[in-house]
């Protein structure tokens, strides 16, 4: 069974993709009758060298994304993973020649079909009197022994587009550009890794990988790599890749050594998330700098994909200052990133955190019986939440992403770690304020924000007094803040339902002579009943509000967690005979 693709037709997908790109970019035009994209200001290039590249479709944004001032003059696209037709390549050469350019450089990735078709078009153009040169780029560092076919052309080709484009923009001649980029091409290497394969529209995946395998050293056409390794962390895979790329016994290695300065390119092969790209980039920078390599520029993104392949390639280009100036030169190519023209290595990457506000004079010092009681309460709350992790996750899977228990457990572990650092503040206001900061930082998700809001607001009435009316006012303040910013109301099937039910009963604390335990016991029972009642409610807020009510036949996990927290507080206070 072929994989699903959002296309109009398998046969027309390459044409449609190029048409869409050109339609969205006023700087591009399609050459009539051909799958060729050219700069729309082509007539302004009289007297300059034209740069043409291309290859099969499916590598987007390559190659058309790199057409523009300071990069390519035009590109010729084949069908998916198929070399472009000789006739279209020749038409592109003729088009730029007739626009008044003084010569054309063909930048070709080292694949048999590309070499043959671009080479044949070059010979035909030269026979017509058009000056044309061709450079074949092979930057693959996968093979330890270079085969007769040579190194494959991979994402490093994009850097050659950039260098050649800067030279052409500066007015350099065809022969000199050809010589310069040929030298640069020998100073770089690329290695790819993937978690699984890709599939050409209308076809099945090109190869299969088991769940615990990773493909190392693969190309950009869905072909398998040089070997398979066991799934590992990003750090471990990056270390393995760099070891392979820089090993001098590898015939296709990059001569990177301590003290070298490089441009690093992390290229998404199509299916990795931006989250993963960030992790990979961090691993690469730490690993390279740990080896004494200076990273002059870092490019991270999708430059030359392999359809939806969930993998990436790492390209390293040895650079000096003159070469860096070419990399930094201005370009209007849509897919070239806006890279800062400063070295990555040596830059300060963090700044000091803001200072904490000073505690108010006269604050109750930590320690003492009140402090110990609060620690006991928090320990019981943490134990309760950790014990509920799987239950809360199961409840959350019906209406969310199944992480409510994990989120509350993360909060519990953060509180446990904080308790180990020293005695808790004896001041209830200060305790709630510090818990608020801790949960906002460590808990995450909307739950962390809501608890943080609740605790921050609840702390305010407790700054002046800590009697029962003040605690009731604290509950009111917390509930008001949750409703104001969370946009939930009682009956919306959220954690607010449990807290609201308890808060209504705690109003009794405002009456003279109110009994602590009698009121609190009833408040906890009300909270538990409200949590159970959420199973019959239609969600009016939160992620669950997007789910059909017919699927929500379990209590809201946030309401269950809030009720459990109140029950834990009650049990400790009773056991301690407060």
Close Cβ partners of 556 (under 8 Å, ≥ 6 residues apart): 395, 399, 493, 494, 495, 497, 531, 534, 535, 537, 539, 544
How many CB atoms neighbour CB 53 within 10 A? 30
Q: What whole-number distance in Å separates Cα of residue 294 and Cα of residue 261?
A: 5
Q: Residue 157 burial by CB count (10 A; 0-12/13-18/19+): exposed, middle or buried?
A: buried
Q: What whole-number distance in Å separates Cα of residue 321 and Cα of residue 209?
A: 42
Length of the chain measured in residues: 578
Close Cβ partners of 338 (under 8 Å, ≥ 6 residues apart): none
At residue 186, the 3 state secondary structure works out as: coil
Picking from 220, 224, 221, 214, the residue whose alpha carbon sits closest to that of residue 194 is 214
Known catalytic residue at 63:
no
Write the Ramachandran bin of 85: left for phi over 0, alpha for psi from -120 to 50, otherwise beta. Answer: beta
Close Cβ partners of 380 (under 8 Å, ≥ 6 residues apart): 568, 569, 571, 572
| CA-CA-CA-CA dihedral for 19, 21, 22, 24, to nearest 10 | 120
Rg (CA), the chain: 32
Residue among 63, 161, 221, 408 flagged as catalytic: 221
3-state helix, strand, coil in the chain (%, to 5): 45, 15, 40
Where is the binding site for substrate, in residues? Answer: 56-59, 109, 114
- DSSP alpha helices (H): ranges in 534-577? 557-575
Where is the binding site, in residues? Answer: 56-59, 109, 114
In which residue are the tokens 């009681």 written? 373
Q: Which residues are catalytic?
A: 221
């Amino acid at each position: 069974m072929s994989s699903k693709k959002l296309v109009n037709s398998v046969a027309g997908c390459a044409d449609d993709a190029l048409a869409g790109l050109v339609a969205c970019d006023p700087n591009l035009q399609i050459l009539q009758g051909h799958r060729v994209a050219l700069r729309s200001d082509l007539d302004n290039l009289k007297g300059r060298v034209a740069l043409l590249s291309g290859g099969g479709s499916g590598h987007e944004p390559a190659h058309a994304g790199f057409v523009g001032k300071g990069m390519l003059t035009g590109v010729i696209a084949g069908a998916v993973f198929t070399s472009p037709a000789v006739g279209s390549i020749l038409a592109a050469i003729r088009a730029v020649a007739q626009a008044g350019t003084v010569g054309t450089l063909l930048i070709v990735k080292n694949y048999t079909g590309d070499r043959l078709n671009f080479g044949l078009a070059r010979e035909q153009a030269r026979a017509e009197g058009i000056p044309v040169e061709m450079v074949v780029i092979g930057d693959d560092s996968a093979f330890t022994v270079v085969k007769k076919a040579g190194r494959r052309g991979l994402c490093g080709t994009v850097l050659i587009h950039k260098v050649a484009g800067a030279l052409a923009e500066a007015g350099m001649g065809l022969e000199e550009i050809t010589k310069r980029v040929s030298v640069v091409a020998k100073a770089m290497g690329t290695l790819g890794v993937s978690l699984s394969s890709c599939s050409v529209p209308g076809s099945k995946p090109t190869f299969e990988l088991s769940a615990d395998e990773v493909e190392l050293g693969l190309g950009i056409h869905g072909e398998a790599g040089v070997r398979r390794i066991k799934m590992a962390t990003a750090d471990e895979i990056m270390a393995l890749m760099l070891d392979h790329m820089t090993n001098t016994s590898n015939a296709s290695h990059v001569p990177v050594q301590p003290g070298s300065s490089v441009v690093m390119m992390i290229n998404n092969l199509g299916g990795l998330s931006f989250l993963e790209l960030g992790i990979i980039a961090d691993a690469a920078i730490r690993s390279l700098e740990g080896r004494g390599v200076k990273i002059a520029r870092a490019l991270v993104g999708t430059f030359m994909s392999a359809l939806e392949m969930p993998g990436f390639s790492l390209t390293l280009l040895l650079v000096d200052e003159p070469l860096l100036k070419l990399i930094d030169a201005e370009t209007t190519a849509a897919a070239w990133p806006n890279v800062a023209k400063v070295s990555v290595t040596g830059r300060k990457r963090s700044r000091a955190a803001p200072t904490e506000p000073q505690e108010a004079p006269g604050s109750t010092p930590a320690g003492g019986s009140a402090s110990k009681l609060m620690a006991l309460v928090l320990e019981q709350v943490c134990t309760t939440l950790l014990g509920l992790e799987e239950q809360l996750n199961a409840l959350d899977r019906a209406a969310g992403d199944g992480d409510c228990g994990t989120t509350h457990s993360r909060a519990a572990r953060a509180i446990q770690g904080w308790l180990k650092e020293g005695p808790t503040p004896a001041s209830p206001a200060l305790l709630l304020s510090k818990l608020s900061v801790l949960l906002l930082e460590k808990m995450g998700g909307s739950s962390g924000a809501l608890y943080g809001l609740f605790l921050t607001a609840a702390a305010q009435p407790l700054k002046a007094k800590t009697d029962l009316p003040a605690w009731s006012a604290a509950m009111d303040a917390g509930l008001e803040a949750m409703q104001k910013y969370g946009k939930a109301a009682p009956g919306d099937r959220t954690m607010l339902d449990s807290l609201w039910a308890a808060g209504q009963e705690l109003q009794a604390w405002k009456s003279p002579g109110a009994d602590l335990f009698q009121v609190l016991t009833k408040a906890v029972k009300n909270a538990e009943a409200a949590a159970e009642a959420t199973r019959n409610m239609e969600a009016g807020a939160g992620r669950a509000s997007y789910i059909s009510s017919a699927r929500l036949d379990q209590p809201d996990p946030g309401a269950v967690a809030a009720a459990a927290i109140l029950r834990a507080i009650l049990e400790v206070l009773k056991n301690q005979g407060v």
